[in-house]
Amino acid sequence: MHGSLTGWDDTIVALATAPGVGAIAVIRLSGQNAINIVDELFPSRKLNEQQTHTIHVGILKYKNEVLDEVVVSLYKNPKSYTGEDIVEISCHGSPFIQEKIIEIITQLGARIAKPGEFTQRAFLNGKLDLTQAEAVADLIASNTEASRNTALKNIRGGFSNSLAVLREELIKFSALIELELDFSQEDVEFADRSTFKNLIQEISNSTTQLLNSFELGNVIKNGVQVAIIGKPNAGKSTLLNVLLNEDRAIVSAIAGTTRDTIEEVININGVLFRMMDTAGIRTGKIDEIEQIGIGKSIQKAEQADVVLYILDLSNAEDISTDLDWIKKLKKPYIIIANKVDAIDKIQISLPDETIYISAKQHDNIDAIKHALLSKAVKGDLNTENIIVTNARHVDALQKLKTSLNDIAQGLNDNIPGDLLALDIRQSLYYLGTITGQVTNDDQLDFIFSKFCIGK
């Protein structure tokens, strides 16, 4: 069935475990010839005659050369990840053995899989819908509890289910409209327009809710970029080290110590913050390298999601130039007044929301963490609601929203049923592109090319 369904009659092979030395490595084959190919290498047992979901220990042998002692797992179609016959060979984890076995398998007729090709076949064989397949890649890439949970929810169909509900409602209505068209001579109205108006409003609200969740989804999936900015010697590198709990950046009393951007990741309550320590910003007599560093700092501030601006309380004379700089920032920022330990009394007036710390004495650092979380994470991380994490879905949801507006407009203007039907079909089309009922090959290749090989 697989060949006819997908148009593929070739068998693919890839290393499913990470490349390099390990205790064991797993080589995975999928396709019509997967079992036959391994049968040729596996003298101890006829794999073709074995039950699905069984494992077999034995040697792998090619032309009288023993390659390795392995464990072979069998999954016969359609009960496998791809829906095709799958064989997994667990061999010893030497790169030499891995490569040798894969090479021989390709000589016997299999082809090296493209990135994501196993999952792509699973999709095309109806094992997963597109959002579930995409969530597989997200799960592999997940690096915090929050990103893992969202990906798992989507693999189980969370996002797809909420779209399926919307889709079903629309289909029901469009069927009624199409029915009306069949009776167009008789001027009947099967589809009650005011009920439909409400329905469109409801779907539109859900779409907006999903779109709004992307801000949080993006934070969960990609983390938050934070640029630590300020004058030389303000204590930026000291603060980075304190946040990281290690001496990562060089700290010194010499202004202009940090020349190049340093980037490190910290995890605050399950969210990754990518902290960038930058060269202190100043004007006047500076060398060429420092000037380049300053240029980079400004660029990093512009790229960041949040700016941590560090003021030096022990050097208060020119804090007004700092405040001028901050005012020009067109993004969320947190003002941090550092070195409270070095002064007796705060002489200057600073914005109310300023956080006073001593980086050197690790004082009030938690306040910075709280502020970062509340600036960057809008919404509840532990929500049971569906969170959109994928830019492709956002694009389709935006188009869906526009076409829902067209329907609403059409209903207000009392446009004829056939025109309404067109708009509804357009909305259904965008819904379908998300879960994969509507696809084109280029789009699929693009989505799956972002996977790792062997998945």
Binding site for Mg ion (CB under 5 A): 236-237, 257-258
The Cα–Cα gap between 9 and 344 comes to 79
Nearest distance from residue 452's CB to ligand GTP, in Å? 37
Q: What are the beta bridge partners of residue 26? A: 90
Owner of token pair 């396709």: 31
Which of the listed partners (ligand GTP, Mg ion, none) does 247 bind, with a CB threshold of 5 to 8 Å by partner kind?
Answer: none
User: Does 276 engage in binding with ligand GTP (CB under 6 A)?
Assistant: no
Which of the listed partners (Mg ion, ligand GTP, none) does 256 bind, with a CB threshold of 5 to 8 Å by partner kind?
Answer: ligand GTP
Stretch near ligand GTP under the rule CB under 6 A, chosen from 130-138, 191-199, 319-327, 333-341: 333-341
Which of the listed partners (Mg ion, ligand GTP, none) does 213 bind, with a CB threshold of 5 to 8 Å by partner kind?
Answer: none
User: Does 293 engage in binding with ligand GTP (CB under 6 A)?
Assistant: no
Name which of 236 and 300 has its Cβ closer to Mg ion: 236
The Cα–Cα gap between 106 and 97 comes to 14
Helix (H) or strand (E) holding 24: strand 24-30
Nearest to 272 by CA among 305, 237, 306, 224: 224
- Total site size for ligand GTP, rule CB under 6 A: 24
Helix (H) or strand (E) holding 263: strand 262-268
Pick the binder of ligand GTP from 31, 158, 280, 410 (CB under 6 A). 280
Owner of token pair 């869906």: 400
Q: 121 with 8: CB under 8 angstroms?
A: yes
Q: 368 with 355: CB under 8 angstroms?
A: yes
Which of the listed partners (Mg ion, ligand GTP, none) does 358 bind, with a CB threshold of 5 to 8 Å by partner kind?
Answer: ligand GTP
Tokens coding 216: 């949080």
Nearest distance from residue 297's CB to ligand GTP, in Å? 9
The Cα–Cα gap between 134 and 213 comes to 17
The Cα–Cα gap between 353 and 127 comes to 52
Q: Measured at CB, which residue is nearest to ligand GTP?
A: 280
Nearest distance from residue 280's CB to Mg ion, in Å? 6
Q: How many angstroms separate the Cα of 201 from the Cα of each of 4, 271, 312, 336, 366?
A: 42, 34, 53, 45, 43
The Cα–Cα gap between 69 and 289 comes to 58
User: Does 258 engage in binding with ligand GTP (CB under 6 A)?
Assistant: yes
Q: What is the maximum alpha-carbon separation in the chain?
A: 89
Which of the listed partners (ligand GTP, Mg ion, none) does 105 bind, with a CB threshold of 5 to 8 Å by partner kind?
Answer: none
User: Does 232 engage in binding with ligand GTP (CB under 6 A)?
Assistant: yes
Q: Which of residues 211-230 bind ligand GTP (CB under 6 A)?
A: 230
Q: Could you tell me the strand order of the sheet in which 12-15 lies?
A: 54-62, 65-75, 86-92, 24-30, 12-15, 111-112
Nearest distance from residue 258's CB to Mg ion, in Å? 3
The Cα–Cα gap between 451 and 455 comes to 7
The radius of gyration computed from the CA coordinates of the chain, to the nearest angstrom, equals 29
User: Does 359 engage in binding with ligand GTP (CB under 6 A)?
Assistant: yes
Which of the listed partners (ligand GTP, Mg ion, none) does 235 bind, with a CB threshold of 5 to 8 Å by partner kind?
Answer: ligand GTP
User: Does 302 engage in binding with ligand GTP (CB under 6 A)?
Assistant: no
Pick the binder of ligand GTP from 125, 213, 237, 390 (CB under 6 A). 237
Name which of 89 and 308 has its Cβ closer to ligand GTP: 308
Pick the binder of ligand GTP from 339, 375, 393, 455 (CB under 6 A). 339
Nearest distance from residue 385's CB to ligand GTP, in Å? 41
User: Does 298 engage in binding with ligand GTP (CB under 6 A)?
Assistant: no
Pick the binder of ligand GTP from 252, 320, 374, 402 (CB under 6 A). 252
Binding site for ligand GTP (CB under 6 A): 230, 232-238, 251-253, 255-258, 279-280, 338-339, 341-342, 358-360
